[in-house]
Amino acid sequence: MKFIETKLQGAFIIRPDLIEDERGFFARTFCRREFEEHGLNTNLVQCNISFNKQKGTLRGMHYQVPPHAEAKLVRCTAGAIYDVIIDLRAASSTFKQWFAVELTAENHQLLYVPEGFAHGYQTLRPDTEILYQVSEFYHPQSEEGVRWNDPAFGIVWPLPATAMSGKDASHPDWGADK
């Protein structure tokens, strides 16, 4: 695996090394030892799948607060997404900055999202599926979010939002309740 640090401190794009032959390929997407060597959380306790029917579906921007803050390892298994993270760690040199990467079934890349980051994505194709592993169990009382189009962050989304939950659409602006 190749670990490529993003402009946001502690967040990585992970490119699996594909071992290919006439049958197809084999690749590792997680190795505790390699993750530990990069200082990443290896305590993956839950795996989730999200399926999205429509191109333009927007989900986010979600996070869990301490003591249930979670790291995520995200991969698109069908279709394509524009995956966005925001550094919400007040002591970080990249506080309130965002980063986006296109994850597709074809490029096999993963995004490692550290604790203290908000995460969301927009589907770039219909029938898109995302698999993500998390380092903490879901804890509803620790769940928070920021609005996908909050001017405090200025995220540039590639498409108009075609579908979104009422909950995601109504997250408060950053600082409104902080």
Using alpha carbons, select from 117, 119, 39, 116 the residue that is nearest to residue 84.
Answer: 119
Q: Is 108 a catalytic residue?
A: no
- What DSSP string describes 34-75? HHHHTT------EEEEEEE-STTBEEEEEEE-TTS---EEEE
> Which residue out of 119, 132, 139, 171 is catalytically annotated?
132
For 15, the token pair is: 């490119």
| Cα distance between residue 161 and residue 97, in whole Å | 21
**Cβ-based neighbours of 148, under 8 Å, separated by 6 or more:** 58, 60, 61, 120, 155, 157, 161, 164, 168, 169, 171
Using alpha carbons, select from 54, 63, 55 the residue that is nearest to residue 84.
Answer: 63
Q: Is 62 a catalytic residue?
A: yes
Q: Which residues are catalytic?
A: 62, 132
